[in-house]
Amino acid sequence: MTTLIKKLLLIIIVISTQGFAQQSDYSKLDEFLNILNENDKLMATMTITKNNEEVYHKSIGFSNIETETLNDKGTKFRIGSITKAFTAVMIFQLIDEGKLTLETPLSEFFPQIPQSTGINISNLLNHSSGLYNITNAPEFREWMLLPSDQKMMLSRIVKYDLDFKSGEKTEYSNTNYILLGYIVEALDGSIYKESLNKRIVNKIDLKSTYYGGKINDKANESYSYQIENKYWKVTPETNMSNPGGAGAIVSTSSDLTLFMNALFNGKLISSSSFEVMKKTNNKEVCHGIFYANMNGVDLYASEGGIDGFQSMLIHVPLTKTTIALVANGLDFSKMRIMLSAFTASNGLPITLPNFTKIKLTEEQVKLYVGEYACEEVPYKLIFKANGNILLGAPEQSNLKELTPTKQHQFTFDTLGVVLDFYPETNLVKFTRGNNKPLIFKKL
């Protein structure tokens, strides 16, 4: 499970246990996303559904900056590793059809892979195989933009020994799902694209989801961008023959909510397979999706990134809420965006981003350095100076750079935190969103 998803799920579940307002209010979410757009922080579309009905959609930024083509509801994005959830569904469909089991060894398909007799389908699905993540290979950047076939990819995979014995631990690896995609092809006797259409796209009537190719802006496919010298710069395109079942799907935010809702409504796999799909091997990693639970509240998610594209898909069964974000340009916290969307969908206030920044001297920063304690919480806040930059975090956490927004005030936008210092009394007020402020005193 990525650190990003883990943090997001835990924060969302904490909010879930605090109770919800009756009426959702998306006006602030609109304002939040507009601010990101105006400050070149995000180009994307977002869709939210409740009880299987779409209740919110927002499109911002350009799908093609050169032609000034705007993103709209029909714009299609590469979704990266959310592809893995689609691949996992197809594997469970094959299990439902009796063509495969979770215990089937990898050696039945690829005996040339080292120690493949000890790796089974379940290990591939939940990232416990030990297979080296081929996208970490030193030469990955050399071949990612060029076409590959199965023979070429397997020749790369077999070069590496296992990182650990299968089943011993969990470690995310794209190799697992590249191989699962090949297994789908082998058992269906077709290419992945055809299996995807037959098994998922046509079954639940997804209008804009398919195996990607070279980006075609005439078909309303977006290019992806990264910020360089304060301007969006188009990124190179990974050849989609490389990520395959691990990351080659193109979709829209609307289609992703339809997919997630169909999965949780029992329209794609049997109830027994769905229960196995949701089963975790280390409290967080399921068989194709990720999971968190606190105080009885479940949340499931998937996340992706490829080239300059970023995506996230979450579902909360308790509130029957699904949120999908697909971005072709991101220079902000994806976690903060999804957290704000979830909060707004439950009628709770959100903190708007603030991009006002002032410059401080080294002497000014030293005013805030130290350890601060609060009687209401069991942890301290630690602040240290790095030249004219203030770093801060709760004790035993990694220090983060804080943004000075006005005199004696700093923000940490990733979590929507505002820190108001009162140097004359050695106090700092800690505020996050609409939560009750906490007062910490310098020790």
Give the chain's domain count: 2
Q: What is the pLDDT of residue 352?
A: 86
Mark 210-223 as b/e (b = at least 16 C-beta within 10 Å).
bbbeebeeeebbbb
Closest CA to 312 of 81, 65, 137: 81
CATH number at residue 368: 2.40.128.50
Residue ranges making up the domain that contains 278: 1-350
Q: What is the pLDDT of residue 11?
A: 55
What pLDDT, in 10s, does the model give residues 121-163?
999 999 999 999 999 999 998 999 999 999 999 999 999 999 9
d(CA 385, CA 422): 17
What pLDDT, in 10s, does the model give residues 222-273?
999 999 988 999 999 999 999 999 999 999 999 999 999 999 999 999 999 9
Instruction: Kindly state the tokens that stand for 365.
Output: 């920063």
Sheet (strand 77-78) strand order = 77-78, 249-251, 210-211
The dihedral formed by the CA atoms of 76, 79, 85 and 91, expressed in degrees to the nearest 10: 80
Mean pLDDT of the chain: 92
What pLDDT, in 10s, does the model give residues 101-115?
999 999 999 999 999
pLDDT beyond 70 at 9: no
pLDDT beyond 90 at 397: no
Amino acid at 376: E
Amino acid at 222: S
Q: What is the pLDDT of residue 16?
A: 52
Q: What is the pLDDT of residue 342?
A: 87
Higher-confidence position of 104 and 2: 104
What pLDDT, in 10s, does the model give residues 312-337?
999 999 889 999 999 999 999 888 89
Taking each helix axis from N to C end, the angle separating 83-96 and 271-278, rounded to the nearest 10 degrees, works out to 140
- Residues 345, 427, single domain; the answer is no
- Residues 275, 377, single domain; the answer is no
- Residues 237, 270, single domain; the answer is yes
Q: What is the pLDDT of residue 230?
A: 87
Q: What is the pLDDT of residue 198?
A: 98
Q: Would you say residue 67 lies in a domain? A: yes
Contacts of 222 (CB under 8 A, 6+ apart): 43, 63, 64, 71, 75, 76, 77, 215, 309, 328
Task: Report the phi/psi class of residue 433: left, alpha or beta, with left for phi > 0 and alpha for psi in -120 to 50.
Answer: left
Give the mean model confidence (pLDDT) for residues 170-182.
97
Q: Would you say residue 69 lies in a domain? A: yes
- Residues 346, 416, single domain; the answer is no
Instruction: Kindly state the tokens that stand for 399.
Output: 């220090």
Q: What is the pLDDT of residue 1?
A: 43
pTM of the model: 0.86
Give the mean model confidence (pLDDT) for residues 62-80.
98
User: Of the candidates 350, 374, 391, which is a domain's last residue?
Assistant: 350
What pLDDT, in 10s, does the model give residues 179-233?
999 999 999 999 999 999 999 999 999 999 999 999 999 999 999 999 998 899 9
CATH number at residue 137: 3.40.710.10
Closest CA to 302 of 5, 18, 3: 5
- Residues 328, 402, single domain; the answer is no
User: Of the candidates 312, 330, 350, which is a domain's last residue?
Assistant: 350
Sheet (strand 427-432) strand order = 400-401, 389-394, 380-386, 370-373, 438-442, 427-432, 417-422, 409-412, 403-406
DSSP codes joined into one string, 60-92: ESEEETTTTEEP-TT-BEE-GGGHHHHHHHHHH
Sign of the CA dihedral with 262 first, then 265, 267, and 272 last: positive
Q: What is the pLDDT of residue 394?
A: 93
Residue position matching structure tokens 């909010």: 15
Contacts of 10 (CB under 8 A, 6+ apart): 292, 294
